[in-house]
Structure 1
Amino acid sequence: MRSESRNYDGNGAVGSCSQHGAWGIFDEQDGQSWRTKALCSQTDPEVFFPEKGGSTRDAKQVCELCEVREQCLDWAVDHDERFGIWGGMSERERRRYKKERRRA
C-alpha cells in the first residue's frame, strides 16, 4: 500500500486526520491543491475504501458532484493508486481507463 496517498492509523487502516482532513498533509507545494476542493475531504474516508465486495455507490455519488473529479482521477491513474474510489472509478475501472487513455 502507498501510505502517501492516505492517512493510516498504524495498523494499515484508513482514517481521517482532523488537522488536515481526509487527505493527510498534502498541500499546494505537492501540486495537489485540488484536494482542498474535493468533496470527499468532507466525507468519511471509509466510504471511498469499501471492504472487498462492498458497495461503491455512495462514493461514486460524491464523486459525481465533485468539481475536481478529473484531477483526482488523473492523479490516481498517474500514481497507480490501487485502492479505493478515485475520480468516481474503482481500481478495475481505472485500469481499463488507463489502457484506453494509452490507446488514444
Structure 2
Amino acid sequence: MIERFSPRDTISPMHIDISTPPDMAWQEQALCAQTGADFFFPEPGSSVREAKRICGMCEMRSACLEYALANDERFGVWGGLSERERLHLRRTEPH
C-alpha cells in the first residue's frame, strides 16, 4: 500500500531479521520440533508417557527444562517433566 502512494523505485526492500534469539536456538534442534505438539500438550487426564519417552532421547532436554522453569511454563511437558513435576521442582528448589 505504501508503494502505491510513493514515487516509483523510491522504496527499497526492507530487511527483516527473523533469526532465532540465542536463548531459543535449542528449539530448532529439539526432538519435539520434529514430532508435533500433540504429545507434549495432551488433553487433561491423558498420558504424558510418549512425550517423556521422546524427551528422554532429546539432547536439548536440559535447555528445554531450564527455559520452562525460567518462563514459568505451566502447561505441557517441558524438559521431560509434566506440569505437576515442574511445580514440585520449583517448590523444592532453594531460593
Kindly provide the CA deviation profile for residues 61-94 of structure 1, in whole angstroms up to 9, marking residues without a partner as x: 0000000101100100110101100000111100
How many residue pairs get matched? 78
Give the TM-score, by structure 2 length.
0.75
The equivalent of 1:55 in structure 2 is 47
Bigger radius of gyration among the two: 2
Identity %: 45
1:1-104 equivalent positions in 2, closer than 5 A: 27-29=19-21, 31-102=23-94
Give the TM-score, by structure 1 length.
0.69
Residues 50, 56 of structure 1: 8 Å contact kept: yes
Q: Which structure 2 residue ranges, 5 or more long, are not aligned?
A: 1-17
Residues 63, 88 of structure 1: 8 Å contact kept: yes
Letter of the aligned partner of 1:45 in structure 2? A
Letter of the aligned partner of 1:100 in structure 2? T
CA distance, structure 1, for counterparts of residue 65 and residue 19 of structure 2: 18
Letter of the aligned partner of 2:43 in structure 1? E
> What RMSD, in angstroms, separates the aligned Cα atoms of the two structures?
1.6
